């Protein structure tokens, strides 16, 4: 899901300036009074695992960590188990031990498998189950977007290293390999984990729940896809203990696998576009279009910006926004920033 | 999911050049022999709804359209209905008419609701149901990422226009409003549709399936979250005809809603980072770091690149890749590209 912006091109810097003239001036004033406490930053700012920049303006908890995901998961399961343990008489179906059933019901609801071997049988239990299904969906989404991806990325480096052990890649080649084929390696990694989970689940269902092989495999498939028809499910106490962990991991794993396939698709598309932008012949028209300051030749930075736009990494809107700031800072209107420019631009105004 | 690239910074242009020297030269040769048939391109390249650029190198069907999604959906449902219509004797549970049941079973499987009121009862039917569940998941993913988002974005413009009708926004302000709050408006739009679907579903279940109000609402919630315990479901023929359409739309709608909430979160994070990068004080160190060609002052394009990196929109790796091409084209090594540079760089080599 890139940002499609067919209409953005009409936002030329000139039109922006005229419409935002007074906002801009007000902003300058505000900015001049603000003391700067932030250390100079490199592009580490955006790295999830790097230390967060200590600044007054940037929110500190930008990247919810694995800890946060684990905390939410614990709270969800904790509250769920207590609620359904108390409401146990209002839940109908095949029962084993109270605590195990409460746990099992929680996980089956949260992952939206919903076998129906246990189901709420009172108004209160039904409404509570609805609430748990919605919050469970949101939680699974959180696990997918934050926790799982983080874990997979950590393992990815190991996988790439193992797969390329015989090729003796240098550190820069190694990083390039990871960067350009990130999604492909993630897919592979999750696929391997998924296979292991499917085999484990099928074996367990065959041995412990005494299902025949086809039924065991069918139940595994119906579970990880969160179908959960419920004609086959975990009915013994030990089966449900296993199910709690296995369902949680395997449903998330399959969903993550599909996410990575989508990412792989985007990655291929992106790489094709980058390849195309990098290999296509540069024409006079390109040079003219790339020449931002109209001085008759294209500097390195101008060329990079032009190509980035072509690759779809940035838009004219992004550039326009920053150009507003540039023009503000370029007090002597020379078209370049020097030390004297920023001193002038950032000095306190003469009158308070 | 941005690209976290803590190690990327080590990829300095110099190290890249040395390791890829011979690849680069080979690429130049290949490039010199290629005739250019593509028209000069602006940044419209990446717009999903703009016309695809006519070029020999860029793949033409980069953006699967709504048509493609509709085609896949029709094929899936067509094949599904035929299969389960033929296998009808091997499906157990509460039955109504054959065709309706086959349709209903398909949709309930594809969306992974899996009530279990109809379930496969032979090895063949079970394995087929598994295959349909997996492909259904993939298909729903496709609908979510391509079809639904496309439809919502089309409607979004109307919503923003309606909501801001009294404010009389100019066209540039209007686009800015859409750009910065894209996800927020999408959330709102899908939430409204979702509310309508929930009310419709509950009313239908109460009136046609004769469920009491709580049960109807419970069944609606269990369906749209794809829980599908199966203790309450659509059991009449007219109920199942309604269910086919309603389940398909409402499950996708809720999933899309959660996706947009995640997008909203990313958007806020992104906007905070952009705001921070635009308002923080520029220091000497920044100027030095931004000065790509080390000529002592920062040109507009250099400043834009530096800020884009700070915002996390691009990485040093992106710049390095394009700088390789720049240095290749800059035959006279002047640090700028002129018409004579590209003529020299792209002229056929003297010896074949």
ipTM (interface pTM): 0.74
Chain B residue with the nearest C-alpha to that of A108: B227
How far is the alpha carbon of B209 from chain A, nearest alpha carbon, in Å? 18
Report pLDDT digits (tens) over B113-171: 999 899 999 999 999 999 999 999 888 888 887 777 777 777 777 777 777 777 766 77
Q: Which of B16, B149, B179 sits opposite A317 (nearest CB)?
A: B179
Burial class for B170, CB neighbours closer than 10 Å (0-12, 13-18, 19+): exposed
Contact yes or no for A258 and B119 at CB 8 A:
no
CB < 8 Å to B338, chain A: 287, 296-298
Chain B residue with the nearest C-alpha to that of A315: B43
B66-274 CATH choice from 2.40.10.10, 1.10.287.70, 1.10.540.10, 1.10.3720.10: 1.10.287.70
In this prediction, residue B8 has a pLDDT band, given cuts at 50, 70 and 90, of: very low
What is the distance between the alpha carbons of residues B308 and B274, in angstroms, rounded to a whole number? Answer: 9
CB < 8 Å to A34, chain B: 279, 281
Q: CA torsion A49→A52→A53→A55, rounded to 10°?
A: 160
Decide if pLDDT at A33 tops 90: no
| Distance set, CA A20 to CA A16, A249, A323, B172 (Å) | 6, 51, 13, 10
Inform me whether the C-beta atom of residue B213 falls under 8 Å from chain A C-beta atoms.
no
Q: Which of B41, B119, B313 sits opposite A229 (nearest CB)?
A: B119
Record the pTM: 0.75
CB B239 within 8 A of CB B100: no
CB < 8 Å to B50, chain A: 6
Contact yes or no for B225 and A137 at CB 8 A:
yes
Chain A residue with the nearest C-alpha to that of B149: A1
- The 8 Å CB, 24+ separation contacts for A289-298 are A289/B40, A289/B42, A290/B337, A292/B300, A292/B301, A293/A335, A293/B299, A293/B300, A293/B301, A296/B338, A297/B334, A297/B336, A297/B337, A297/B338, A298/B336, A298/B337, A298/B338
When comparing pLDDT for A53 and B198, which is higher? Answer: B198
In this prediction, residue A348 has a pLDDT band, given cuts at 50, 70 and 90, of: low
Instruction: Name the pairing type of β-strands A91-93 and A118-120.
Output: antiparallel
Inform me whether the C-beta atom of residue B231 falls under 8 Å from chain A C-beta atoms.
yes
Report pLDDT digits (tens) over A93-123: 989 988 999 999 999 999 999 998 999 999 9
- Per mean pLDDT, which range of A58-62, A71-75, B83-87 is the poorest? A58-62
Contact yes or no for A112 and B225 at CB 8 A:
yes
Q: What is the pLDDT of residue B168?
A: 67
Inform me whether the C-beta atom of residue A237 falls under 8 Å from chain B C-beta atoms.
no
How far is the alpha carbon of A318 from chain B, nearest alpha carbon, in Å? 8
How far is the alpha carbon of A167 from chain B, nearest alpha carbon, in Å? 15
Report pLDDT digits (tens) over A133-178: 999 988 888 888 777 777 777 777 777 777 777 776 677 777 777 7
Contact yes or no for A141 and B321 at CB 8 A:
no
> What are the helix (H) ranges across B143-291?
149-163, 171-180, 182-207, 213-224, 237-279, 284-290
Q: Which of B114, B145, B313 sits opposite A313 (nearest CB)?
A: B313
In this prediction, residue A341 has a pLDDT band, given cuts at 50, 70 and 90, of: confident
Across A221-225, A284-288, A313-317, which has the greatest mean pLDDT? A221-225
Contact yes or no for B321 and A278 at CB 8 A:
yes
What is the distance between the alpha carbons of residues B77 and B69, in angstroms, rounded to a whole number? Answer: 12
Phi first, then psi: give them for residue A118, nearest 5 degrees.
-125, 135
């Amino acid at each position: 899901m890139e940002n499609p912006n067919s209409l953005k091109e009409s936002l030329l810097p000139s039109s922006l300036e005229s419409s935002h003239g007074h906002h801009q001036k007000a902003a300058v004033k505000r900015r001049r009074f603000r003391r700067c406490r932030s250390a100079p930053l490199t592009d580490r700012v955006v790295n999830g695992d790097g230390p967060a920049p200590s600044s007054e303006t940037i929110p500190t908890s930008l990247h919810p960590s694995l800890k946060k995901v684990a905390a939410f998961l614990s709270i969800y399961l904790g509250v769920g188990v207590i609620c359904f343990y108390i409401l146990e008489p209002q839940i109908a179906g095949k029962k084993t031990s109270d605590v195990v059933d409460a746990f099992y019901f929680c996980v089956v609801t949260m992952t939206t498998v919903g076998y129906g071997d246990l189901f709420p049988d009172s108004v209160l239990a039904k409404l509570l189950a609805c609430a748990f299904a919605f919050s469970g969906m949101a939680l699974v989404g959180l696990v997918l977007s934050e926790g799982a991806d983080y874990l997979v990325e950590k393992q990815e480096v190991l996988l790439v290293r193992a797969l390329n052990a015989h090729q003796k890649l240098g550190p820069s080649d190694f990083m390039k390999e990871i960067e350009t084929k990130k999604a492909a390696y993630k897919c592979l990694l999750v696929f391997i984990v998924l296979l292991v989970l499917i085999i484990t689940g099928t074996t367990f269902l065959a041995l412990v729940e005494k299902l025949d092989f086809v039924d065991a495999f069918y139940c595994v498939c119906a579970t990880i896809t969160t179908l959960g028809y419920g004609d086959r499910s975990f009915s013994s106490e030990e089966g449900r203990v296993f199910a709690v962990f296995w369902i949680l991991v395997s449903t998330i794993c399959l969903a993550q696998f599909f996410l990575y396939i989508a990412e792989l698709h985007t990655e291929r598309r992106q790489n094709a576009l980058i390849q195309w932008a990098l290999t296509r012949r540069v024409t006079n028209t390109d040079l003219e279009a790339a020449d931002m300051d109209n001085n008759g030749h294209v500097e390195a930075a101008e060329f990079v910006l032009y190509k980035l736009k072509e690759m779809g990494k940035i838009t004219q809107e992004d550039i326009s926004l920053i150009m507003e700031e540039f023009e503000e800072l370029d007090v002597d209107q020379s078209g370049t920033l020097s030390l004297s420019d920023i001193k002038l631009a950032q000095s306190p105004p003469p009158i308070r």
